[in-house]
Structure 1
Amino acid sequence: MKTYAVLIAVAGLALAGCTSSDQASATGTWRATEPADAYLELVEDGTLSGTDGCNRLFGDWEKDGSTITFGAIGMTEMYCEGVDDWLSQMHTATITDATMTISNEAGDNIGELKR
């Protein structure tokens, strides 16, 4: 009987770690639907990398409560006809379920990424 109690306690602790609202909940790869090869990868150490479908992006980020704030974003400057560079304008984001909604500095929603 004691073994079951210990297993339940350990499982509860493991699940509590999975539901925390720290930076780990935002880490991973987030993909745009258009262009299909645009993505951001947020790393637990606060760095990010990705592409807008043409240019490589890099920078940093932090999460405070439900808001992600992006630091200075650097990117390559290759010319690619028809590529929307909206990711270069990201300033903050929020996550709802498997969707990251990105806003610019003015607070306007400029796009979404999916897990």
Structure 2
Amino acid sequence: MSMRRLAATGLAAAALLILTACASGAGGASPAGSWGEEPGPNVTISDDGTVVGSDGCNRLTGKGTIDGDRIEFGDLAQTRMACAEGTDVVEPWATSAAVDGNALILFDEAGQEIRRLPRIEREG
């Protein structure tokens, strides 16, 4: 193989690695998007960290801080309605979450996993 062809192959391989790294993003997928079940626990996270959703019964809203594939929820406002017996509720709500493939993993204050919410695919 000629030196020129070897150099071109090396440059092409380096470019492919760079493009792959850019496409996957540092730290993996962003938590921005919609997660959970409707009805049931669900959350929609905007690119700016705005959070709206439900613990399965009560509505929640607020702002979080996104860092790569993670979000720290911060203080969220929640309604305090009486829920029907047997309602699937995540209470207390998570303090943070991270993306794992097509799921958002919710964590408590101690960093323990409390729930996995599947990605909600929206049409349109």
Task: Compute the TM-score of the two structures, normalised by the length of structure 1.
Answer: 0.71
Which portions of structure 1, spanning 4 or more consecutive aligned residues, are displaced by more than 6 angstroms? Answer: none
Q: Which residue of 1 aligns with 2:102?
A: 98
* 2:30 counterpart SS class: helix
1:45-89 Cα deviation digits (max 9, x unpaired): 211000122211111112224432111121111101233432543
Larger radius of gyration: 2
- Secondary structure of the residue aligned to 1:63 is strand
Higher relative contact order (CA 8 A, sep 6+): 2
Counterparts of residues 21-36 of structure 1 (less than 5 Å): 21=26, 25-32=30-37, 36=39
Which residue of the other structure, out of 36, 55, 58, is the alignment partner of 2:58? 55
Q: Percent identity?
A: 33
- Size of the alignment, in residue pairs? 101
Change (3 A) 1:87 1:43: farther
For 1:21 and 1:87, how far apart are their aligned partners in 2? 31
Structure 1 equivalent of residue 115 of structure 2: 111
